[in-house]
Chains A and B, each alone.
Chain A
Amino acid sequence: MKKAIFVLFASLVSLVGTAQIKGQLHGNFQTDVYLYENDSLINAERPPHQAGIMGYANFIYNYGNFTAGVRYETYLNTPEGFDSRYDGEGIPYRFLQYETEKYKIVVGNFYEQFGSGLILRSYEDKTLGIDNSIDGILASLQSVKGVTIKGLVGKQRFFWDKGPGIVRGVDGEVSMASLLPKLSEKSLDIIIGGSAVSKFEQDLDPVYKLPENVMATGGRVAVSYKNLLLKSEYVYKINDPSADNGYIYQDGQALMLSGTYSRKGFGVILQAKSLFNMSFRSSRNANLNNLMINYIPAITKTQSYSLAAMYPYASQPNGETGFQADIFYKLPKKTVVGGKYGTTISLNFSYVGAIKKTQVADTIALGQPGTLGYNATLFSMGNELYYKDFNIEINRKISKHLKTNFMYQNVFYNYDVLRGKVGHENVLANVAVADISYKINSKNAIKTQLQALFTEQDYGNWAMGLLQYTFKRQWFVAVLDQYNYGNPEEIKRIHYYNFILGYTHGASRIQLGYGKQREGIMCVGGVCREVPAMYGFTLNVSTSF
């Protein structure tokens, strides 16, 4: 393996030598440094190695139809809150690719997604500590415009090694408008796609008869006509007993529907999703965010304001039914209500609950290992509510210099289900945000944020203030404080303050921070990572070239 990497690297270097004339080398670099201090009150611990340092660099070389790339990564040691199995350094990602208009071949590591990812999505997200890249072969073919077929095989990355299972998949997609120009003249397109993904993992279990080959198949249709877009996707997975589902033999199913209508100044998106038993990993014993083959798209809004993001939704592969409506409307400018520059109002509502599961027989408990587990039907609603979020955002530009954004959120959070705990109270919270930016001149600007979260559960009420000053265009300094003034325990009414100094120049950015971080959870698109409390310094450096 090391030899192969060396040969690849050596050939890359020799290619780079001629890069000025023929090829192009680009990439990016990032490093995050955390220096820890102890703070027993917030549960922040200083590990024996005192610092967590995570860094990586991508080098992508492109020469005509040919592309090669490597990524070096280092975790010495892995920052707190990420899995310490990342400890170490090396080249976990390298590939060679040849691409023409009609086909593409990749050998080595690659990321790929079929449809919305419900059946297969291999991706990387450093903030979540996810990298389930596939090491193998990917081939895609587009012999006729509008018809694409892809095939792949490989093993997924598992920290510095690979998972035990083999992933194999094919996907085909046809765009009718590309095939029949008459349709596109009428602004109509129908895209039909289908995939099959199978994983192989040996059965060595002494107790259960486990399926060594588990296949999932799926189909999708998207119809777009003028301002309207309708999409649906369905996936079926055969028995896949695993640690996630408690070793039950039920098949899995998922269905997603969405409708979007948009015209100038107005848009509406309606979505529905229902699934059960759809955890699909290349190892039946994997947990956390490891070795996931598929991705369950979230149908809740990803909140960006820190207090609004305190209780985020985490997708439930074992079963959920949910709905979302998202409406956007722009009040016209130069009117009394719209103001001189116009005002944008966004309304969002999402609702996710359990799917109804019934016993397979009177003598078998729900979810009993070594049985079918339960019976379920898509879009049936169980008794338990998982999450509900209603939020409204009003964005208004007052003058050339002054911009405002106001938000209100009402959220219900089923703590036990979404955090995987037992016996914790569910949280009902109201959040209000005012975000005001004032541009002094072309080089200087001030940004302030006031946020408040009101709840009678969990840590109680919070207030948050942020003041950020950008000067000389490239520098910024920020002070922010999250104050848990409503904590039921008086001693824990703590200020989580942070001081940040940053500098950006082109694609490069350096940021130095000092302060406290509360423990909690962060989610991106329904995939989450627990974040521990932290106190100390942080340094982030990134650049791309």
Chain B
Amino acid sequence: MKKFYLLIIIVFALWSCDKIKPPYTEEGGVAETGKKVLIEDFTGHLCNNCPRAHRELEHLKSIYGDQLISIGIHVGNFAQPLTENYFGEDFRTETGNELNDFFGADDAGLPNGMVNMRKVNGNYLLSYTEWGSVVATILAEPQKLDLTTTAEFDTATRKLDVTVTAKVLKYFKADEGLKICVYLTEDSIVGWQKDAENEGNEDVPNYVHRHVLRGSLNGTWGETINIDPSVYGSEAEYKITGFTVDTSYNYKQCYVVPFVYDAKTLEIIQADEAKVFN
């Protein structure tokens, strides 16, 4: 019997525990393909830990460049405006609120976010510390769909036309079809943000809010796009015309973010980003 105990202990001891030696960071670059990944970052200007997620996004952006698209979705109590001159901005949108209600982002504790709306271990909402590994996994998978986007904006009427062309590059299944959403974001809005890591005072008056969600051109859940994923090379064109961009938005800093997702699993197949005005 003693031998049996000893055996168990030896077997367990043989499990290596991985002692990592410095440097602790990976070396080498990242292979680039046409595949793009979208991170929807649920955030709020009163959430003092949220800038940690913003910094992680900047960091990932520095690794993946244009292959990584991000949207900052301000939701819940953390996104409430306070007074006019102090946290007065209200970045919440109907689309953001609907996404928040559906995914329960606010309840799960901000910051959190979704990478390509992929369920990881049963959950859409992922901690920002998890984004990097999920982005790496997704970008290592073959590209199935290609999206090209053109935007035309009339500065006088503030009307925006968007055309998205989708093309199947690799066979895939979508049991309940594919849907396309086209979101509008505004980049580099300067305003208040609480930041736990800001020395001295966590209230930062001139924080740069990146890629803030301003709304959707075709509803929170978008529309069906008629494309057959089982046929290589099949193509579809999706158009939105005459969308009015709010006068309070700086159109020079606005982007359209179209993405195609599986209507059943919600997972995004491919995303794209284009400037509203060039």
Contacts and interface: CB of A to CB of B under 8 A. Distances in A.
B137 interface: yes
A335 B129 CA distance: 64
A87 B123 CA distance: 12
A238 B1 contact: no
Nearest to A170: B12
A206 B132 contact: yes
Given A84-B108, A423-B201, A207 B132 contact: yes
Given A205-B133, A215-B17, 20 more contacts: A151-B8, A161-B121, A170-B9, A196-B12, A198-B12, A203-B133, A204-B134, A206-B26, A206-B135, A209-B26, A210-B20, A213-B15, A214-B17, A239-B19, A283-B121, A284-B129, A285-B127, A285-B129, A288-B108, A423-B48
A422 B48 contact: yes
B136 A162 contact: no
A212 B17 CA distance: 8
B73 interface: no
A206 B133 contact: yes
B25 interface: yes
B130 A285 contact: yes
A43 B80 CA distance: 12
Contacts, number: 131
A353 interface: no
Contacts of A371: 22, 24
A456 interface: no
Contacts of A265: none
Given A158-B121, A287-B109, A207 B19 contact: no
Interface in A151-179: 151, 158-164, 168, 170, 172
B118 to A, nearest CB: 13
A94 B44 CA distance: 40
Contacts of A211: 17-20
A214 B18 contact: yes
A243 interface: yes
B189 interface: no
B121 A208 contact: no
Interface residues of A, number: 56
7 contacts: A163-B121, A198-B15, A208-B26, A213-B18, A238-B17, A249-B24, A422-B196
A143 interface: yes
B25 A370 contact: yes
A331 B5 CA distance: 51
Nearest to B136: A206
Contacts of B5: 149, 172
Contacts of B19: 211, 238-239
A158 B121 CA distance: 8
Contacts of A163: 121
Q: Do most interface residues of chain A lie in helix, strand or loop, or is the interface mixed?
A: loop
Interface of A: 43, 48, 78, 83-85, 87, 143-144, 149, 151, 158-164, 168, 170, 172, 196, 198, 203-215, 238-239, 241-243, 247, 249, 283-288, 370-372, 420-423
A283 B228 CA distance: 38
B156 interface: no
A161 B48 contact: no
A84 B26 contact: no
B154 interface: no
B171 to A, nearest CB: 25
B90 interface: no
B164 interface: no
Contacts of A203: 133
B20 A239 contact: yes
Contact of B15 (A215, A243, A249, A372): A215
Residue among B12, B104, B120 with max Cβ neighbours from chain A (10 Å): B12
B237 interface: no
A205 B136 contact: yes
Contact of B20 (A84, A161, A198, A209): A209
Nearest to A286: B127
Interface in B102-122: 104, 107-109, 120-122
Given A209-B20, A422-B48, A158 B101 contact: no
A346 to B, nearest CB: 36
B256 to A, nearest CB: 27
Contacts of B49: 420
A239 to B, nearest CB: 6
B25 A288 contact: no
A209 B25 contact: yes
Interface in B21-76: 22-26, 30, 48-49, 59-60, 63
